[in-house]
Amino acid sequence: MTVRTIRREEVPEFERIRSVAYNATPPDAGDQALLAYFDKLFPNPVERQTILDHCYASFTDDDRMTAVAIYGQFRAGFLGELVSVGGVGGVASYPEHRRGGGVRRILEEMLRQMAADGCVFAALYPFRHLFYRKFGFEVIQNSWCYSLRPADIILRVPALEGSWTMLRPAGSEQDFADWRRLEDRMWRHFDGYFERHMDIRARLEQDNPFTTRHYHYLMRDAKGEPQTALSFHSDQRRIVVRDLLFASAPELAAVLRFLQRFAADIDKVELELPPGYAFSLLIEDTPAPVTRTAMLRVVDAEAFLGLLSRRWHKAHPGRSLPAGMAVSVHDELLPANQASFLLTPDGVRRGTAAPESTLDLDICELSALASGDLTVSDLPLTRAQGCPAALADRERAAAFAEFFSDRRWYMRTYF
């Protein structure tokens, strides 16, 4: 078995495998028609080759394609900085080749490439948590997805006042600049919020609202300052919110009040909120949410710990962590992570420390600490051997807990 990125002539088979796995209508056009459509989607040869270089497949010894996946590189907010994240998507295989190791080999190769590309994290939406845990992925706190009838939205809190503007392809530069300001605020406010590859103006030129029914609305206050925004797709009396740019309850309430205006035209609104958001404090008769669970993996342990170190020293000027603290990471798949990292006043560096000062973590535990699904205080409860030696000292345990403090993740389905 071999694993590699695909060539242009292999695009039709790549799409057929994806259609089988995702129960989609298989492409019924011939190979030449499918390739012509691919060329039309990506007329720039450089962009076309970039797409092909991020489509991975496994092949039998006689070069038959058996499994596929797509590697997308993004930037996302983490602790107020933009970091590189490798997205895993479109994982699929023919049923007769499942459990044959094709997907495993693809994921291993993709993770190695992500490390070479400077990704700090990898992220995906799993079909099964257990499978991806074998590769070091752990659960991110669930997003909560609500389905509401606009006519039933009754606010419990005052909404921010302002006026709404629909963004159009030929809109003003101020509209686009204000939208970018709100997007920048989101990734600074929520970890895991993805920076858009495509600028808002380009998105509108590609998705004209009057042909695609994909709309972008921006709200400004009485002084003309942008406060909140949303984009949504409207189809068959349903609105699916794809972007929701807010940072406070009054801003979210303003969005909900705006959605009330669609009561005569729309039966259902679907929106996705950060985990644990107290939606019941905003509206009466809150419906039960459906959860969507993503998974996260630390690809570059040294860079991740460095981000935590910068955040800690910025939040505690004049303070130092207890001397000799270190984190030892065990990662069989990415050897660069298999090391001990000293937490020093000047940042993170490779080196060894006394065993009683070293917090030993396998890559799944480190990823769970990164995602917020695990806290340092939870570690003794998750291990058969009980409390790690580095946490036996109360002062050191408190310092590790503070170093790996909780964060707010908001990785949406539509990124």
The domain locations on the chain are 2-119, 144-292, 300-403
**Architecture of the 144-292 domain:** 3-Layer(aba) Sandwich (3.40)
Which one, of 289, 390, 399, lies nearest residue 340 by Cα? 390
Please indicate whether residue 293 or residue 146 has the higher confidence score (pLDDT): 146
Residue 339 has what pLDDT?
94
Please indicate whether residue 164 or residue 31 has the higher confidence score (pLDDT): 164
Asked whether residue 328 carries a pLDDT value surpassing 60, the answer given is yes
- Per the prediction, the chain carries an average pLDDT of 87
Asked whether residue 409 carries a pLDDT value surpassing 80, the answer given is no
Asked whether residue 97 carries a pLDDT value surpassing 70, the answer given is yes
Residue 191 has what pLDDT?
84
Asked whether residue 405 carries a pLDDT value surpassing 90, the answer given is no
Average pLDDT over residues 389-408: 83
Residue 28 has what pLDDT?
63
Average pLDDT over residues 94-122: 93
Confidence band, pLDDT 50/70/90 cuts, at residue 108: very high
Asked whether residue 119 carries a pLDDT value surpassing 90, the answer given is yes
Biggest CA–CA distance in the chain, Å, is: 68
Residues 307, 304: Cα–Cα separation, whole Å: 5
Instruction: Tell me the pLDDT tens digit for each residue of 251-268.
Output: 999 999 999 999 998 999
**Architecture of the 300-403 domain:** 2-Layer Sandwich (3.30)
Average pLDDT over residues 320-346: 91
Does the fold of domain 144-292 match that of domain 2-119?
yes
Instruction: Tell me the pLDDT tens digit for each residue of 178-235.
Output: 999 998 888 887 888 887 766 787 778 777 788 889 999 999 999 999 999 999 999 8
The tokens describing 399, both together, are 């310092």
Residue 86 has what pLDDT?
94
Residue 316 has what pLDDT?
87
The tokens describing 352, both together, are 């060894």
List the CATH code of the domain at 2-119. Answer: 3.40.630.30
Residue 24 has what pLDDT?
61
Please, are residues 116 and 79 in contact by the beta-carbon 8 Å criterion? no
The partner residues of 343 in beta bridges, in order of sequence, read 348
Whole-prediction pTM: 0.86
Confidence band, pLDDT 50/70/90 cuts, at residue 333: very high
Task: Using the structure block, give the residue that is written with the tokens 């030993």.
Answer: 360
